[in-house]
A and B are shown apart, each in its own frame.
Chain A
């Protein structure tokens, strides 16, 4: 279904019939676009997973999540420039820097996510505030993170130093870098890991239980707050990982970088069926495929117009997303 998408909107008729060798290059550029979409989709998927986890457990749309992703990218920037040889404090090699930056960024970004939960969401939850207010709080937290960054670090853009010796593998007309392969591989690995946690472990079972009935849970002796904190640790950690990889792939960092990407990832999660790990993963790739293929085969001016119209059509057919189940409210 996803790869069949361009067939629905065929390329505008070329001015002349393509010669045989041009058909070959058309195929090549189609495959290249698929690779592009896989890489871009990996970022959407990584962010969408965080949205879906929190929503799945708390029924809360954590609109600050895109900005937590931004914080992850900045943490990666400071860690790696601090550790690298030239002008850095420790003078580590690139490989060591990368190996240390990834886990440390994930850890620190998790702390950021948990802090938000502690100071913003938990007090509201304790007071029994309606979900709407928590969502608005999340939006505000996102703005605070963006503008706090702007106030603290200034508007200058930062460039992440190169942490990976970039290699370009080309096969015919298709070019792939080792970084792109790493990104796609990581996204798949994270999905498998997360899916495993949610479906196969005790804590995963507890998470599903929170989502099923949050009020009965303490009666069963399950510590609600720890489960929620664990959810935020997971979601933010993955956002941090996404931030590192994003900063390596698109090395121009700015305070608002998470807003747009975050919103789009949220849409991806909704289209996939928010609350479902598989849905977020597939939704991320679906959105990237639609975006890239629209830009590839139609004038790029219409990219977002067509991309989001297609997503609207999908939601129109399946209002709860691809993997979503119709939700019946109890009480």
Chain B
């Protein structure tokens, strides 16, 4: 009896395996190691929604035109739990077991920097839509991104804050274990001291990944009376830090970075975040052309305005599919296909995305504009200023 079950099981497994192998030849597989759970789940959700919308659109037309044949898209989503070690594992799984042609994600630099190493070592094209830390793509010919870099974002935030708040001094709170937060904080400190002199960053405070109380750091900062506080933090921390600072009697403004730009920020932060500014990739309010078309479609489908994650993921998926189409080949040895796709990706010089026009440098980093948005009283992120390199 048990022998028969075992044989049956083996047969089933073999059948599945064969079916999987047979299917793999006919679809275009792209892997998404995303932050679906963990501390920034909305990041993963937005990215997945945008990718699903793209896939449905293409598959409704019969698939992606590669050469003279159409292949349906197959997107595989894996949860990296917003943890660096999980990001490495799931990226490896996508590359080795699922044999994807390319990887899109992880989104946050904390995950994208280690995952980029894995993709590069395994010679698979990876695009991180949202990661802004230079290390993600640095000296990694197989890794690209769709977002601007922190060394560019930091002076944008610094110059804007200096002008808008008429500020001379600042203080920074960042998350010590997050490559994104730490890197941006360092870049900002450099940019600000270059502009306003050596001692103009009054405090440079950090916290851990699970902290919920920031009163010690805030009390220290508030006693030094900075003109504003820079928070290069994930939205969930911004939503905790800002109300706590107000409770401790802080009245000056905050300046944020692109990690604030989640659709979930306002539901967590509420009134405390209104009137604050942050630098980001695109502004949904007042968009035109293809960007507006995307926003309308997404809003209709999912019921909320897409955040920058969704827009950047959309651009990244378009970049990858464009490279695959340019390669003209999806059947055969996966290693060869990956190499062709990566070469075609590197050959893209100009790209007109919904987050703006971009051109790529030799590191695989786009040169594109940043925007500064204001959080209005009705919770919208409204366009304030655009800064181009």
Contact = CB atoms under 8 A, between A and B. Distances in A.
> Does B associate with A?
yes
A304 B38 CA distance: 22
B213 A155 contact: no
Contacts of A32: 219, 223, 248
A254 B235 CA distance: 14
Interface in A15-60: 25-26, 28-29, 32-33, 36, 39-40
Contact of A33 (B42, B216, B268): B216
Interface stretch (B3-11, B201-209, B317-325): B201-209
Interface in B234-254: 236, 239-240, 243, 246-249
Interface residues of A, number: 43
B37 A292 contact: no
B88 interface: no
B39 interface: yes
Interface string A143-159: 00000001000111101
B36 interface: yes
Contact of B210 (A170, A260, A293): A260
A242 B219 CA distance: 24
Contact of B216 (A157, A180, A256, A300): A300
Nearest to A159: B268
B249 A156 contact: no
Nearest to A169: B249
Interface in A159-204: 159, 162, 166, 168, 170, 173, 175, 177, 179-180
A199 B240 CA distance: 39
Contact of B239 (A166, A252, A260): A252
Interface string B37-56: 11101101100000000000
Interface in B1-46: 36-39, 41-42, 44-45
Contacts of B270: 159, 162
Given A32-B248, A252-B236, A292 B264 contact: no
A254 B216 contact: no
Contact of A257 (B41, B206, B212, B246): B212
A251 B269 CA distance: 9
Contact of A168 (B45, B212, B213, B247): B247
B288 interface: no
A34 to B, nearest CB: 10
Given A252-B236, A254-B39, A296-B220, A156 B264 contact: yes
Nearest to A176: B247
A32 B45 CA distance: 40
Nearest to A246: B212
Interface of B: 36-39, 41-42, 44-45, 176, 205-208, 210, 212-213, 215-217, 219-220, 222-223, 236, 239-240, 243, 246-249, 264, 267-270
18 contacts: A32-B248, A33-B219, A36-B213, A36-B219, A39-B213, A154-B41, A156-B42, A157-B41, A157-B264, A175-B249, A250-B212, A251-B268, A257-B212, A295-B205, A296-B216, A296-B220, A300-B207, A300-B216
Interface of A: 25-26, 28-29, 32-33, 36, 39-40, 150, 154-157, 159, 162, 166, 168, 170, 173, 175, 177, 179-180, 250-252, 254, 256-257, 259-261, 291-293, 295-296, 299-301, 303-304
Given A32-B219, A300-B205, 16 more contacts: A25-B223, A26-B223, A155-B37, A155-B44, A157-B264, A159-B270, A175-B248, A251-B268, A252-B239, A252-B268, A259-B210, A292-B215, A293-B216, A295-B216, A303-B207, A303-B216
